[in-house]
Homo-oligomer: A and B are copies of this chain.
Amino acid sequence: MNIDMIDAAAQRLQGHVRRTPLLSSPFLDDIAGRRVLVKPECLQHTGSFKFRGGWSAVSALDPQVRARGVIAFSSGNHAQGVALAARSHGVPAVIIMPKDAPRAKIDGTRALGAEVVLYDRATEDRDAIGAQLSAKRQLTLIKPFDEPQVIAGQGTTGLEIAAQAAEVGVSTADVIVCCGGGGLTSGIALALEARAPGLRVRPAEPKGFDDVARSLAAGEILSNTAPPSGLCDAILTPHPGDLTFPIMARLCGPGLVVTEDEAQHAMALAFRHLRVVAEPGGAVALAAALFHGDEITGDAVIVTISGGNVDADIFATALQRFPV
């Protein structure tokens, strides 16, 4: 993994990916006690940064291999990213999703033309289901994060952050990234290492699912003890990846951990002051910037909103619980 792969992914994504803006609000600056710059990947195609990695991976395949189709496991955002990338390339996509994924994500994936196979997180082995289907139909597996071309695609977010931070005069800051398996985090870290070395990436995770923060502190890959559940469905991976962890260990600062309440509060503040829709897992970095300022240094902080695919009732509950 290196910056050349990210530059190459940016080339393949040119004209297909949306260059999301860098948002800000004086009200958020006041709450955080420093300047807050927000990269809203909820505005990306399919509503999350995952479209970048999906497109990068699908577009990098040998055309004959690609024509047979692709397969992915996902609770939703990677699913939609791969589904749209596959459809745009005119090839089939099979997506294996947990039965309890948000309806918005299951429906969205189906509507993008993918064949959705649902499984039970508690009783079924998604890897076995995937391996069987993949072998039978000669589909290429697009892993959600531990895959070089996926990391390269997510890293294009970092290229944009480097350019956009420079445009607004920010050259030194923590860049807080919503972190599941570490694809976005490690991709952005690689991009910033090359293009904006004064910007340091720090992963943000929900409490109880802070495998990356603990792994970084321990210097080795540790797993979450609890089974994945809760509001932050998008980023509940069991442990950092074999590819992503060494990159994060080399380049990232300490992880930040926020509560579900803080994530919901950040959703309400993003609604009011940025007018964007953040899903709970997509709001953990903003929550860290707003409510864990004592763990951050510097006059400015940059955060990702990684996705905005949230069911209406969950969104409305966040607005109601945290009137702002």
On A, residues with C-beta under 8 Å from B are 18-21, 23, 26-27, 40, 42-43, 47, 84, 104, 108, 111-112, 268, 271-272, 274-277, 308-309, 312, 315-316, 319-320, 323-324
Contact = CB atoms under 8 A, between A and B. Distances in A.
A112 B277 contact: no
8 contacts: A19-B21, A26-B112, A43-B276, A47-B275, A272-B312, A275-B308, A275-B309, A277-B277
A320 B315 contact: no
Closest 5 CB pairs of A and B: A275-B308, A275-B277, A312-B319, A316-B316, A42-B275
A316 B320 contact: yes
Contact of A277 (B84, B271, B320): B271
A30 to B, nearest CB: 8
Q: Quick one: copies of this chain in the complex? A: 2
Contacts of A23: 18, 43
Given A43-B276, A47-B275, A277-B271, A323 B319 contact: no
Contacts of A319: 312, 315-316
A137 to B, nearest CB: 25
A324 B316 CA distance: 14
Contacts of A108: 27
Contacts of A315: 271, 316, 319
A72 to B, nearest CB: 19
Given A26-B84, A42-B275, A312-B320, 4 more contacts: A18-B23, A21-B43, A47-B275, A316-B319
A27 B112 CA distance: 9
A164 to B, nearest CB: 11
A156 to B, nearest CB: 15
A268 B312 contact: yes
Nearest to A22: B18
A183 B234 CA distance: 42
A324 B308 CA distance: 15
B111 A27 contact: yes
Which of A20, A271, A272 has the most chain B CB within a 10 Å cutoff?
Answer: A272
A272 B21 contact: no
